[in-house]
Amino acid sequence: MKYLILDDLNSFECIGAKCSYTCCKDWKISVDSASERFYRNVSGKFGEELKNVIIDKEGNSYFQLNEGRCPFLNEDSLCDIYIHLGADHLCDTCKVYPRRNWVYGDLTFVGKAISCPEVARILFESAAPLPFGFSEDVSVSNEDVDWTVFNLYVKGMTTSIEILQNHELDFTVRMRAVLLFNYYFEKYLNSDNDCTELFDMFSSADSILVLTEKLNHLNTNYDSRITLFLSVAQNISEILDNKPIIEYVSFGVNYLQNPKENAGLKIEQFWSDKNCLENKIDMDHIHEQYGVYYISMYYMNFFKDKQPYKFMVQFFTLFYLQNCFEAFVYNKNMENLALNDLIEIYTKTARTYEHSSENKNMETTFSVLEKNEMTSLAFLMSLV
């Protein structure tokens, strides 16, 4: 088995009560069967507290939240289970999070979720290009895999990451190139054509510039970003557990509808002027790190269906939805956007989308965009 690891995130350590947005509230906390059996056998007052808050829902066990908070998150924002029973007796959800592993073919992807603010901070403060570690052991995958497609798909993922990390190119060019590559990659996969030529075409800055030169006439259409946001906002009730992002959606809708705000001009100024932030945050760096993180974590989800372009639609949707949130917060804060604001935006969006059961929220959003003819290459290019 081979292991692909985002190295910089290995420095993660939970900061406990210092966390700005604790993982112990605002979402369901599942309790695995082994932990439940142990909790039900804990004696005394604390044992009774445990038994009283474990609930069953559709065959799965959860802690019953108290006004959105885990019942064991105490007034000091520390975990009473950890305090009373020790780290070994945390349920699997709390023991493992934010660490996440996926196995595809003979490759295990080892990462951490930016739904944790500390992971997001490490990601955004790490130097680019974000390094990957690689290791291998003697274990063997038993998964039934089309190895030809699998190996091509891994190459598609690494090519996408290399494009985003190519600092010889402007970030706008990189985003257009990664979209264009995956648009054609999906066509190649489904026609059984040899992909070697395609990989070669996107292998260097010079060849990418030649390919994207034909797109130079396309100016960024900021209205497209707003249209994307409003389409999601109008269907926000269909997004399950949308509490983390609802504040951004509500503020954005009200802000755009208020004629006194001159919102369109202010938002366009934020997006077009890379020097508008007084604290000199490098937004291209933030966006590159997020893109590399998201591709490395979720690109392979689509390999069995051979749909790298559909993955790109979902990636671009979240990317530019968060771009809108950035612009809203910047204007809400009187033209100020701090790193902590960015961490909160990306953390809350991840909690809404990346932890949705069976990817339901992303699929719901994709359906909305598809219905509104917003999944085409032309529309996505207009966002960039």
Residue-wise pLDDT tens digits, 275-285: 777 777 999 99
Across the beta sheet with 30-31, what order do the strands follow?
A: 30-31, 60-63, 54-57
pLDDT at 139: 73
| Most confident residue range from 57-61, 128-132, 161-165, 257-261 | 161-165
pLDDT at 132: 86
- Mean pLDDT is lowest, of 6-15, 22-31, 121-130, 168-177, for 6-15
pLDDT at 205: 96
Question: pTM of the predicted model, to two decimals?
Answer: 0.93
pLDDT at 120: 97
- Mean pLDDT is lowest, of 192-196, 302-306, 376-380, for 192-196
pLDDT at 133: 84
pLDDT at 142: 67
pLDDT over threshold 90, residue 112? yes
pLDDT over threshold 70, residue 136? yes
CA dihedral (227, 230, 231, 232) in degrees, to 10, reads 130
Domain ranges of the chain: 24-96, 146-384
Confidence bin at 273 (pLDDT 50/70/90): confident
